[in-house]
Structure 1
Amino acid sequence: MNAPIFLKQPAPGVFPQDGASAARPLAIMPETAIKPVKRSKLWELKSKYHCPIIGTCLPMDELVKFARRFAFGVSLRDEFSMHTEAAGRSGTRNEMSEAIQKHLDRKYQACLRRFEQAKNDAGVLAIWREHHACGEVSGAMWAALTHKAASEETRQVVYADVHMLSHQMGAGQAADARRLIHLEKENIELKSLVEIERLARVSAKATLREELRSLRQNAAGQHVEPAEIIALRERLAAFESGQAMIDMGRRLMNLRAALEQQLIAVQRGAEMEKKLIVLDGEIRALRAERDQLAAERDALERIFISPEMPPETDNGGCDGECHSCGKRGKIGCVLYVGGRTALVAQYRSMAERLGIRLTHHDGGQGESVSRLPDMINSADAVVCPTDWVSHNAYYQLKRQCKRSGKLCVLFKGAGVSSFAAVLSNLQDPRAALAAQDGGLQQGIIERPKTFVRTPA
């Protein structure tokens, strides 16, 4: 049993400076008496670690099983959407996150036992670097991120190493695959050449033996030129001594050198073809970007050239549901979820020029996502840049719009020009009425040209 340790001379400032308590010795319990903390759970980690854990520690077949088991709201063929939903659900404690926690603990229990040897943060980092140098990343990352002694700095090192390793592995696997295809093809061709040479040598040897036997039979009954017999014997001796094999090896080496030159020429042609494909893709991307910028430019011109309209606050008792009403399909209040907080003032100014009142939610960066339902219910339409919003806010937005039947526009790009194109199309009565009456399914659009509403 461990006994407490007493300090005879207390350190200055540790004890109060009164009489009895100042002279009282300090009892310090040894480190073994301190109860160790537990390993971190999946939902206790920061949200940025969920993406590499799901992508690295769970192969796609295991992720499909979890998606089917916990009824993901996406297609099982859409790998990115399954990854996104799993990462989003891992941020809270639920049945799915608990199941993934148990599965990874059971799958990587060998790595967990190895990391239990580390008693401090430096030990965790040292063991991680050993596994990272050997290429054993998935189990080591899970054990390091959830280790009870791992600091936030160590977790950041693990996160950065895995992030860079994913880029390197993608490029390396493509190069290895191309190299393996060339080597397998070359191996097959060389085997074919060797087999052809071997069969030719066997056939030639049999022919010489037959000729020699025939000549000997003829020599018994008639005179045969000695020079012809000597030549045949020399050829036969060359085959039997292996000299013929040496000559065939030289020919095979020459053939191999010629084959290598042909492979180099073919490889150059393939590289040029790939470069042409890449350039063609870049040209198409530039054309698409040009068209998108032109559309955004036109939207900005329509907004800033048109006269500024004040937001409508009184509808005069009209709810805008009549087919002959001029207010039918008009948007009075728009909720903007996510985007760049620094541009909110410009978003609002642009909306006010069109007579639209704009409300904003930062998409979970600083505001709570629990405010989204009330804000969605109070708006006529909801717009959201999908590349500037958190996972939780994104799924909360989709669920609430589906329940309430709100007009919802999901687009890419949080710039002012993209928002201008969205507002311009929102002001188009034909697009708004088609979205309200058509009952189309909700979806993500890269360019804000189509507006869709989830059915009530």
Structure 2
Amino acid sequence: MEIFDQPNKPLSESFEDSAFATNSATRLPRRRKLWDIDKGYHCSIIGTCLSVATLCKLLTKAGMQFESGATDYEMHGFFVRAMSSKNPADKRLARLVNKALDKTHAKSIASYHNEITSEGLLHHWEQAISSGDIPGPYWAMLSHPVMCEPLATRVHGEVHMLSHISGAANHADIKRLRTLETESAKLRKRVKLAEYKFRQRLMGRDEKIATMGKCLAAERAAYKKLQQQAATTVPGRSQKFTRLQMSLADEQRKVRRVSAVTDRQQVELRRLRKDCDILAQQIEQRDGECQALELQLLATLDALENGTSSRTTESKINLSGSRVLYLGGRKNMYPFFKNIISRCNGEFIPHDGGVENGTRQLHGALSKADIVLCPVDCVSHGACLKAKKICSDCGKRFVPLRSSGMSSLIRGLEHATSTTITTSKPI
């Protein structure tokens, strides 16, 4: 391999002894052609820097043709031998190959063009190895005018080892590809079977749809026929049905009106029942008063006939000298009330509830009284509440009366003598 400069010197000395070491401004010689490079590198250059498809195109362009059935390896060997052949046809093919290499890897050649040292070329090559870009930099390195033998040997060795590594990887890829092809064949078979089953089910579904469509058409025809028969045979039934619907609507409106009237009557009935209950209580009260008055009247008549004093109902009541304040009521009844309370051994203290007597007199009367009777139907509301509060504070008996009549007075006295508890409900 004497084509490269100083084959036996290290990289650092290879360029120093060259013709370009004395003058850095001297113009570099032309790049090496493929036939200028030792033929030992042709195999790696053809196999690394050009694809099989490119070789086929170059072969056709050179007017050559391979026998049918030739392998890629045979084509590769033919090109390697032709690059160093003296045959004019092979030389023409070598020029086409060199031109194709320069055109295909023009970018890499341009990036290496300004390098004038082996160290610079080595630096570029290491970057190419790191990036995985091998074909272009490999041709740019071997065809560079300052390429030396040690660097060429190193670059060629690295490309050679990369081809081994690539071959091992390709072998694994081929094995994996065959496995995938086997699995793909199985999957295609399963897909075909699934497609066949799907078509069968689809055909069955289409048949069912067609059958159901026929049944539906028959049902529609029968329904239409029944409609026509109904329209021709019973034309009066629809009118009768319409009249019945109208009658039903009228009856429903009547029912709603009657229901509303019934609701109002029920409300009125509840109100009347409540009024009846109130009237019954009042009648019961009046009956009690009448009974008390009858007893009092009978006792008075008996006393007049016998010439004795009358002591019937009030004789049962003993006030034991208690002073009874009668708050409100009618003044024309005061003498009768005084007579009854006197017969019951009590003292009568009248007060009109603030009509003529003042508030001070009410306080004075309340302070003297032991029992306070207050008819709620004939008294000042304020005076009644004030008397009730004072009695509650002083612990005196306060008895509200339903009316200002004599029977209410007697019942109030009976209640006052039977208990010491002040009541809030009228007696």
Q: Same fold per TM (> 0.5)?
A: no
Structure scoring higher RCO (CA < 8 A, sep ≥ 6) equals 2
State which structure, 1 or 2, has the greater radius of gyration over its C-alpha atoms.
Answer: 2
TM-score, normalization by structure 1: 0.32
TM-score w.r.t. the length of structure 2 is 0.33
Q: Which structure has greater helix proportion?
A: 2
